Chains A and B, each alone.
Chain A
Amino acid sequence: MRRVFVIVALLAGLAGVAAFQLTQRHVTNADARVFVPSSRFYLDFSPSFRTTIADAYWLSTVQYYGEHLKSDARFDSLGAMLDLVTELSPRFVRAYQFGAYALLDAGEGQKAYGLLQRGWRRNPDAWQLAAAAGMLVYMYGEGETKVQIAADWYRQAAAVAGSPDYVSRLAATLLQKGGERDKAITMWAQVYAEGDEYARQKAVAALDELLPARCDERIAALAALDVPMTPDRRAELSAALLRD
């Protein structure tokens, strides 16, 4: 009997606590302006735990972005939060990537570009950052040189070992659009050398457009191509481009 009484009292107590919690106004990041401490403080205070603190702020940043995206679309502290995360953990590639897109949503295009530039400087092996910067410039940039700048970003991304085929394909397309014919030819040849069948078809079509139309000039241009390629593939490319 006594045990039953204790259990009932315990359950009643728990229910009371839960009811109190549920009826209170929930504490969230409802305010778009939140306090973001200086990264200097954490770097001085606890260098051993700096990445853990960065991770905690990363989770908080994702939550902040999600909450405000659904509600008021105000992201006043987003830039500061991303700065804090990336200062504490400069090699946190996803923070730059996600951060750039999130800052675009916040209407902070310049900050997004700056974040990607900083990320690329610190992580020259992360092709994703250069590719994202290229995309950002191409989609949202202004001025006549934007295609060339975007192409240059893609070219840098394509130069990173392990970057996928489509990056060099994009770089080549943009260089072609930007009028850098020789670079575009080299990039497309690279796509042909390393790409799958689809990529090779695209490369042949692009090279066909870029290379001189006269047969002797085209043969000379193909011979001058300074792109490592197996002899079979080189012969295949020559055959595809010299079929007429």
Chain B
Amino acid sequence: MNRMAAVALNTFKETIRDRVLLVIVVFALAMIVAALWLASISLGETARMMQDFGLVAVTAFGVIVAVFVAGTLVRKEVEKRTVFVVFSKPVRRGEFITGKFLGLSLTMAVVLAGMGAFLFLLTWLVAGVSSWVLLAATGLVYLQVLVVIAVTIFFSTFSSALLASVLGICVFAAGQLSHNVLSLSRLGDSALLKGLSWVIYLLIPNFSAVDIKPGVVGEATAAWDDIALWSGYLAAYAMVALVIATLVFNRREF
């Protein structure tokens, strides 16, 4: 446990040092400019526009940072041979992978909390309204980011950093559309197509189930019981991805 915490802490320090927090500053500046622009063209819907587009920006910034950092986490250690130093100590590969995941998760918690809090305050200052649902939505974006990190780390155990990052983005996009895969299965009578659709549906994480963006602008009331269940599913999904990543990484020869 201590060894895993040590890897996690080192990863956190390393990623924070990588100027990842600069993302928050860029996000803040982009939001201020966008807020002033939106206020002038949205016919009094500044709060709605800021919250809606702001959350999309939080998601996009969060996912992009997560996949590109997660893609290099393991690869960099292997390519720079620093992984030998780590494994010369009594650190198991599973602990290494999980530690890397936890470290980056901590960094992303700081990044997303910074962006979420800034968006909340800016909406409150500029438009005079802000909702706690906005903070809850940011929390659920974080959950999606955790899954994307786990999946990207899994890909990075057997592919290049760039390919792992691209695949991570693909999984995020597919997760937004997973419900459509089932619709595809209803299009024809082919048992093969139906079976394949079900397999793909089960493999892809269902992100839209925990998305409450419409609720932030008063569009739908979030069903918190369902969201709690789906959050548990996503947490389990991330764990499974990490276990598979560990199994693949265990087979690597160094």
Residues of chain A touching chain B, judged by Cβ–Cβ distance below 8 Å, are 44-52, 55, 58-59, 62-63, 89-92, 94, 98
Contacts and interface: CB of A to CB of B under 8 A. Distances in A.
Contact of A55 (B48, B180, B183): B48
Q: Which secondary structure dominates where chain A touches chain B?
A: helix
B41 interface: yes
B179 interface: yes
Given A46-B177, A48-B176, A55-B48, A89 B42 contact: no
B179 A51 contact: no
B45 A58 contact: yes
B42 A91 contact: no
Point out which of B41, B43, B179, B208 has the most chain A C-beta atoms below 10 A from its C-beta.
B43
6 A-B pairs closest in CB distance: A48-B211, A48-B208, A51-B214, A55-B52, A52-B52, A91-B219
Nearest to A94: B45
B218 interface: yes
A58 B38 CA distance: 11
A129 to B, nearest CB: 15
B207 interface: yes
B101 to A, nearest CB: 25
Contacts of A51: 52, 213-214, 216-217, 219
A210 to B, nearest CB: 38
B217 to A, nearest CB: 5
Interface residues of B, number: 26
Nearest to A98: B43
Interface of B: 38, 41-45, 48-49, 52-53, 55-56, 176-177, 179-180, 183, 207-208, 211, 213-214, 216-219
A156 B43 CA distance: 26
Contact of A49 (B44, B45, B49, B56): B56
Contacts of A90: 219
A38 to B, nearest CB: 15
A44 B183 contact: yes
B43 A62 contact: yes
B210 to A, nearest CB: 9
Nearest to B218: A91
18 contacts: A44-B183, A46-B208, A47-B208, A48-B208, A48-B213, A49-B56, A49-B176, A50-B219, A51-B217, A52-B52, A55-B48, A55-B52, A59-B41, A59-B42, A63-B41, A89-B214, A91-B217, A94-B44
